[in-house]
Structure 1
Amino acid sequence: MNSMKLVKKPREGGSVVRKSIISSLLAIALVTGPFTALATPINFKDVNVNAIEYRHISKLSSLGVIKGRGDGTFGSHDSVKHLEALVMVMRFFGLESTANASHFRLTATVEAAFGGQVPEWGKGYLVTASDYAFLGPQERFRWDEGASRAWVAKLLIRMLGKEHEALALNNSALPFTDAHQIAPTDRGYIALATNLGLIRGNGDGTFAPNRTVTRAEMAIFLDRAEKRMDRLPPGIEEATIIQVQEGALSVLNEKRLLTSLSLDNQARVFIQERQGKVGDLKAQDKIRYIKSANDKIVYLEVIEEGTSVSPQLRGELLLHNSEKGLMTIRVDDGFTTYALASNVKVINLQGRTLTTGQLTAGSKIQIRLNSEERIAEILVEESGKQGSEGTIVELSLKNQILILSDDTGNFPTYVIDNQTEVEYGGRRFASLEDLRKGDRVSVEADGQQIVSKITLLQAQNQGNIQGTVTLIARDSRVLNVKSEDGQLYAYEIPRNTDIEFSNGTTALLEDIYSHDKVTVHLQGGTVEKIVLHKTAETKAIWGKIVSVDIDRRLLIVRDRQNELKSYEIKDSVILDISESNPRLSHLKVDSIIEFELDDGKVSYITIKDTQDGIVTRVDSDRNILAVRDSSGNVTTYAVDTHVEVELFRRSRPDLSDVNVDDTIRFRVTNDKVDRIYVYSKLAGEVTDVRISNNRIYVKDTNNVERSYTISNNLKLNIDGITKPTISDVEKHQWAIVSYLGDKAESIFIQPFTRGEVTNVEVDRGRLTVRNYDGTSKTYSIDSNLKVEKSGTTSSNLLNISTGDRVRLVLNENERIYRVYVARKVSGKVDGIQRTLQEIYLSGSTVGYLIEGDTYILQNGLRRTFEDITHNQNVTIYYLSGYKAVEVTLP
């Protein structure tokens, strides 16, 4: 990426700057220099630990936002001057270095407008406040006068980037008895500040807009403002506690990664608003914390306490009876058996959510019980090693190391030696030398991870594997792929592997993402080449403008992955924008654009007149709409009183029909939203497929049937199929139709789930199935469940038995909507029709259809139709139409 330079907008664009300040903050902080050095909270002599402001002052002094006076006091009740308030805000946003480097830009004229004789340390703060529109274009005051509550309210709202929202409230009624003292230009700011809880009214019903804010109040106000920010200020981090140890915490950070944090001996701990101690912290507490320069926590506050109601218990899992919902755990004083709660939560130290079915004997776990003494939460410290399955990522006989990639995305590592037994598809005298990277194996190991036996489950393929990326670990260069036949593979990608797009252009490892379609070319078990089935993007590239450097002809945008990208702009760039004489200067920060590249440089730019996002707030009375974009930034818009709204199955909708959490596409014209299309989904069962006219019929849960014609305007998507056609759709599959407004845009067909029933919980409405892709999963049933078995239909699980082979129809919530139980027949193969892929058994005239997704198994290994031979004894599990779901060979 080319070097990045952030460019501020002119003063007359101040409102736009404020809107983008939050989203650009972290990038700005990185460019302008480090945040103010953090330190242990200051013990101010005049701040009592029981004072209301004690926590807030402790927090902001830990950040370096407030520094007190030279005599060791803070001066809680001293008035805050205008300049002091600005300094606190700049430091809070990590802009101290920027301000310090900008002092020379304060001209004598501007300095005089702020009262003159501005101290040297404060000049840069006035410049920075103006640059980032914390001050209005014509706003002037004496820098050394006290800051009023009305002015601080305005400053806080601008700091949060909500000025547009405040201006929309200018005519709102204020509940204060002294509202007549509030200037008309300040009313909207104060209304919003009080609505957000930043500044509250007084106990006597007044607001006192002209009263000067104290230093203690300023600390409280800034801390409250943090709770309303879209992102945490620099220096404050958030995590969830996993384990509390002496002087340290094990936490899951914001990226859900396990992290160890050290605590300073003088660390101040607060539980919500009350002061506490380290011993009060517990697992599942959500915390925010500040670290000092020596990387130790000096300030910590619990913002959400863990919901567990009983003490933590640690032990070893001895037995898991999934049928009865019981777990037996070894603890220090013996064995204890507990029942599982219906909504038990299981998580490991990497933050991954697991199912109880993934827990094995020997696992080291922590449990928490609910009020009924049932297990409500399980933290897996260490998984039991018995019977682990996975794909070989690394096998080093020299170093005696075996590394697998398991189905949960982990990479368990084992020790192998000459005593390790290998079972390799019936091969006599098999050894470790017979194993290859890419082989899928099961491993039996002891608690020290020493392997006693390795059993081959599926040999790695030579040649090509085509499938979908399920995991890409770029640091370790490991690629997990789910092939088209449902098998999972893990490959280590050598650095000399060729990677290219399907159009032949060169690609990078960074271009591969989960859910991408790829073809992996293998040679001797090593990845020789990867073809990525998408083209390198040169047209219709999406971006949100962060900066346009006209002099250097450099465009910086934020892409859909929230990453900054820098592009050079061609001299002959075409600007497709609504200006009579379009220039680069017409491109505004935060504008959504699409552009094209020519030889890696931007050759075409157009402004998108519509944007997508998720509604976070809607006020139909005030015509206000707040939307969060794909980068996580929230922007508030005024809505035209005649806005056009389109919503599926709604007659003449308006703004009041738009709800929070709706995904929408909207258009902004003249700074107002004048068009809103609401995304919605309809789900149901495919009732008919007519290939002749490309039509699919879907009946929703309200028993209403609709038909859809697959065309360029209505896309068909099927998981696992790169370019699906209507012939890939089957009756009874689950369909999810996506609408934009009244128009159906796409249909997603959910493939059937096939497998063997391993547990039936009739009373709990759950079914556990070992799927043919090698995974096991427990599914809950839908209220409209129907079970078809042996020609009869029922509405419960009573007719299903362990060992049944089933085809499941799962709805959009992955609940079981339909269960089709396969019939079973055994016999000797008497005929094979290779063209039609049918087999016939002795004494029967029926041909059993063996399709590409039929699960064919022989001695624990996956086979194909070509492996079926005459006179073989086979067992067939089949559905209506004599379609085989499973064939077992001897």
Structure 2
Amino acid sequence: MKKAILKKAAITSVALLTLAGGAGSAFANGNDKGHDDKGNHQSSNGNKKNDKHGINLQFKDEKELKWALEYIIRLASKGVFNGYDDGTFKPQQKITRIESIVAAVRLMGLKEQAESQAEMSTKLNFKDADLLAKKYPWAVGYVAVALEKDLFSETDDSIQPDKPATRLFAATLLVKALGLEAEAKAKVNSELNFRDENKIPAGSVGYVQVAIEKGLITGYEDNTFRPNQPVTRAELAALLDRTDDQLPDQDAQAITGKLKADPASNAIVVVKPNNTEVALALDPNVFIFRNNVKVAVSALKAGDEVLVRTYQNKVVFIEVTKLASEQPAVTTQVGLFNSYSLNAQGKIATISITRTENGTTQAYVFNTSPDVAIVGNAALLVAGHAVELTVLNNLVYSIKVL
């Protein structure tokens, strides 16, 4: 389970990253914008949107995202779970079964297969297949793939796409997406010990047990599970994010490694685990998480371990998975020795050097460490002789006579 799931602090602001273009973007309902039969965005007047119009990093209802922000960001950067074409995410809106199924298939890395012509033209045998084809034609391939991957039960005769997804439905769906159905069936006689366990069908007990063991879902503080409670979009984002950590990462656009240097405003260099370097251009609206909060590019540090995702050859998402060790700032200062002062103990307290730059000679005075060392022939430490100072956190620790 990702460490982010254990975070207790709520992140209460900033925008949500969503990838735009194709069926990989927003889910839409009847009141918003929909999709045509090829999965392209379609506005209310029937005009297709250009698949290359970029990314959207701002949502009109961003203040409502709160605790779910980080979950949603990571999923959106993979094109798994996104916002609506009207510029909102609607985190508190109840999510439907078809939205849950589509998200699960994408999470499994099967988006391309689900949107292939072969899957899109599948003749489904559900009683409400015609309703799906009429209202959600772009989702036919997703349902076909879900069937092939055993995300449906053998007794399911209807898709019920508009029915709200419940906690039990979501938990069962994600356990199946992880390929843990056999384990769930083996635990069908488990004792769940929830006050409302009698509301969980006997055949579903094993799925709930596995979902709890894998950290996908938990009960409530009053010791209830509430299997029939509808799931909001924000809640499903948290469930999907926890599941995502247990699935193989099939996104070739994900890059991990360490930052080679403090980044420029428009690019970073990542040293991958195999020690190869890759230079990456940053999207102007790149979304960055460091130390649990959204930060600017300038907050990134050399040595930060990062997870980077790109879209259209630009970095749109950076998560710092491990902070760089805070190393003291060490610099060297070269110039001509000018003078030094002593403290009460007769030790060097300050040292002054002069440097000539661009035709101007200027004196610089540095405080010294109590145990400053003189390297080389101390007899040559006279005015006008070249020296090199090693400065650590604004204190001179060594004076090298050149």
TM-score, with structure 1 as normaliser? 0.30
Pair 313,200 (structure 1): closer, same or farther in 2 beyond 3 Å = farther
Q: What is the rounded CA distance, in whole Å, between the counterparts of 1:289 and 1:38 in structure 2?
A: 21
Pair 77,252 (structure 1): closer, same or farther in 2 beyond 3 Å = same
In structure 2, give the amino acid aligned to 1:249.
I
Q: How does 1:267-346 map to 2 (within 5 A)?
A: 267-271=286-290, 273-293=292-312, 295-306=313-324, 308-313=325-330
Name stretches of at least 5 consecutive residues in structure 2 with no aligned partner.
1-50, 334-363, 373-391, 398-402
> CA shift at 1:145, angstroms?
0.8
1:92 is matched with which residue?
A: 107
Other structure's SS at 1:45 match? coil
Pair 234,131 (structure 1): closer, same or farther in 2 beyond 3 Å = farther
**Residue in structure 1 matching 2:214, options 186, 191, 196:** 196
Pair 206,224 (structure 1): closer, same or farther in 2 beyond 3 Å = same
Q: How does 1:130-149 map to 2 (within 5 A)?
A: 130-141=147-158, 142-149=160-167
Q: What is the rounded CA distance, in whole Å, between the counterparts of 1:134 and 1:234 in structure 2?
A: 25
Q: What is the rounded CA distance, in whole Å, between the counterparts of 2:252 and 2:93 in structure 1?
A: 27
Other structure's SS at 2:168 match? helix
Q: Is the Cα contact below 8 Å between 2:127 and 2:157 reproduced in 1?
A: no
In structure 1, give the amino acid aligned to 2:156.
E
1:498-523: CA deviation from partner (whole Å, max 9, x where unpaired) = xxxxxxxxxxxxxxxxxxxxxxxxxx
In structure 2, give the amino acid aligned to 1:77.
Q
> CA shift at 1:126, angstroms?
0.8
1:631-685: CA deviation from partner (whole Å, max 9, x where unpaired) = xxxxxxxxxxxxxxxxxxxxxxxxxxxxxxxxxxxxxxxxxxxxxxxxxxxxxxx
**Residue in structure 2 matching 1:214, options 232, 250, 264:** 232
1:60 is matched with which residue?
A: 75
Q: Quick check: 1:78 aligned with 2:96?
A: no
> CA shift at 1:37, angstroms?
8.0
1:103-123: CA deviation from partner (whole Å, max 9, x where unpaired) = 21123xx13255844421111
Q: Is the Cα contact below 8 Å between 1:285 and 1:304 reproduced in 2?
A: yes
1:121 is matched with which residue?
A: 138
Q: How does 1:341-420 map to 2 (within 5 A)?
A: none
Pair 170,299 (structure 1): closer, same or farther in 2 beyond 3 Å = same
Q: Quick check: 1:183 aligned with 2:183?
A: no
Q: How does 1:32-51 map to 2 (within 5 A)?
A: 40-48=55-63, 51=66
Q: How does 1:370-769 map to 2 (within 5 A)?
A: none
Other structure's SS at 1:48 match? helix
Q: Is the Cα contact below 8 Å between 1:39 and 1:62 reproduced in 2?
A: no
Higher relative contact order (CA 8 A, sep 6+): 2
1:262 is matched with which residue?
A: 281
Q: What is the rounded CA distance, in whole Å, between the counterparts of 1:139 and 1:237 in structure 2?
A: 39
Q: Quick check: 1:252 aligned with 2:252?
A: no
1:732-785: CA deviation from partner (whole Å, max 9, x where unpaired) = xxxxxxxxxxxxxxxxxxxxxxxxxxxxxxxxxxxxxxxxxxxxxxxxxxxxxx
Q: What is the rounded CA distance, in whole Å, between the counterparts of 1:243 and 1:138 in structure 2?
A: 57
1:15-41: CA deviation from partner (whole Å, max 9, x where unpaired) = xxxxxxxxxxxxxxxxxxxxx989535
> CA shift at 1:62, angstroms?
3.0
Pair 258,90 (structure 1): closer, same or farther in 2 beyond 3 Å = same
Q: What is the rounded CA distance, in whole Å, between the counterparts of 2:193 and 2:52 in structure 1?
A: 42
In structure 1, give the amino acid aligned to 2:99.
E
1:483-542: CA deviation from partner (whole Å, max 9, x where unpaired) = xxxxxxxxxxxxxxxxxxxxxxxxxxxxxxxxxxxxxxxxxxxxxxxxxxxxxxxxxxxx
Query: Counting helix residues as a fraction of each chain, which structure ranks higher?
Result: 2
Q: Is the Cα contact below 8 Å between 2:57 and 2:285 reproduced in 1?
A: no
In structure 2, give the amino acid aligned to 1:104.
S
Q: Is the Cα contact below 8 Å between 2:101 and 2:143 reproduced in 1?
A: yes
Q: What is the rounded CA distance, in whole Å, between the counterparts of 2:331 and 2:269 in structure 1?
A: 15
Pair 233,38 (structure 1): closer, same or farther in 2 beyond 3 Å = farther
> CA shift at 1:186, angstroms?
1.7
Other structure's SS at 1:53 match? helix
> CA shift at 1:51, angstroms?
0.8
1:795-826: CA deviation from partner (whole Å, max 9, x where unpaired) = xxxxxxxxxxxxxxxxxxxxxxxxxxxxxxxx
Pair 116,50 (structure 1): closer, same or farther in 2 beyond 3 Å = closer
Other structure's SS at 1:133 match? coil
> CA shift at 1:254, angstroms?
4.2
Q: Is the Cα contact below 8 Å between 1:252 and 1:258 reproduced in 2?
A: yes
> CA shift at 1:259, angstroms?
1.8
Q: Quick check: 1:106 aligned with 2:123?
A: yes
Name stretches of at least 5 consecutive residues in structure 1 with no aligned partner.
1-35, 317-331, 339-367, 374-890
Pair 175,67 (structure 1): closer, same or farther in 2 beyond 3 Å = same
How large is the RMSD of aligned CA atoms in angstroms? Answer: 3.5
Q: What is the rounded CA distance, in whole Å, between the counterparts of 1:267 and 1:231 in structure 2?
A: 21
Structure whose alpha-carbon radius of gyration is higher: 1
Pair 104,280 (structure 1): closer, same or farther in 2 beyond 3 Å = same
Other structure's SS at 1:245 match? coil
Q: Quick check: 1:238 aligned with 2:253?
A: no
Q: What is the rounded CA distance, in whole Å, between the counterparts of 2:268 and 2:368 in structure 1?
A: 29
In structure 2, give the amino acid aligned to 1:71.
D
Q: What is the rounded CA distance, in whole Å, between the counterparts of 1:120 and 1:130 in structure 2?
A: 16
Other structure's SS at 1:85 match? helix
In structure 1, give the amino acid aligned to 2:121.
F
In structure 2, give the amino acid aligned to 1:54.
L
> CA shift at 1:263, angstroms?
2.1
Q: Is the Cα contact below 8 Å between 1:38 and 1:64 reproduced in 2?
A: no
Q: What is the rounded CA distance, in whole Å, between the counterparts of 1:210 and 1:174 in structure 2?
A: 16
Other structure's SS at 1:228 match? coil
**Residue in structure 1 matching 2:185, options 152, 160, 167:** 167
Query: Counting strand residues as a fraction of each chain, which structure ranks higher?
Result: 1
Q: What is the rounded CA distance, in whole Å, between the counterparts of 1:256 and 1:194 in structure 2?
A: 38
Q: Is the Cα contact below 8 Å between 2:72 and 2:234 reproduced in 1?
A: yes
1:126-180: CA deviation from partner (whole Å, max 9, x where unpaired) = 1111122222333344122111111111111222222233333323222422222
In structure 1, give the amino acid aligned to 2:310.
K
In structure 1, give the amino acid aligned to 2:282.
L
Pair 183,238 (structure 1): closer, same or farther in 2 beyond 3 Å = farther
Q: Percent identity?
A: 28
Q: What is the rounded CA distance, in whole Å, between the counterparts of 2:297 and 2:122 in structure 1?
A: 47
Pair 334,57 (structure 1): closer, same or farther in 2 beyond 3 Å = same
Q: Is the Cα contact below 8 Å between 1:41 and 1:298 reproduced in 2?
A: no
Other structure's SS at 1:244 match? coil
> CA shift at 1:235, angstroms?
3.9
**Residue in structure 1 matching 2:173, options 147, 155, 162:** 155
Other structure's SS at 1:204 match? coil
1:50-92: CA deviation from partner (whole Å, max 9, x where unpaired) = 6112222233333332343332212111121111111112233
Q: Is the Cα contact below 8 Å between 1:114 and 1:140 reproduced in 2?
A: no
Pair 335,256 (structure 1): closer, same or farther in 2 beyond 3 Å = farther
Q: What is the rounded CA distance, in whole Å, between the counterparts of 1:90 and 1:230 in structure 2?
A: 13
Q: What is the rounded CA distance, in whole Å, between the counterparts of 1:39 and 1:226 in structure 2?
A: 25
Q: What is the rounded CA distance, in whole Å, between the counterparts of 1:177 and 1:152 in structure 2?
A: 20
Pair 275,146 (structure 1): closer, same or farther in 2 beyond 3 Å = same
Q: What is the rounded CA distance, in whole Å, between the counterparts of 2:183 and 2:289 in structure 1?
A: 33
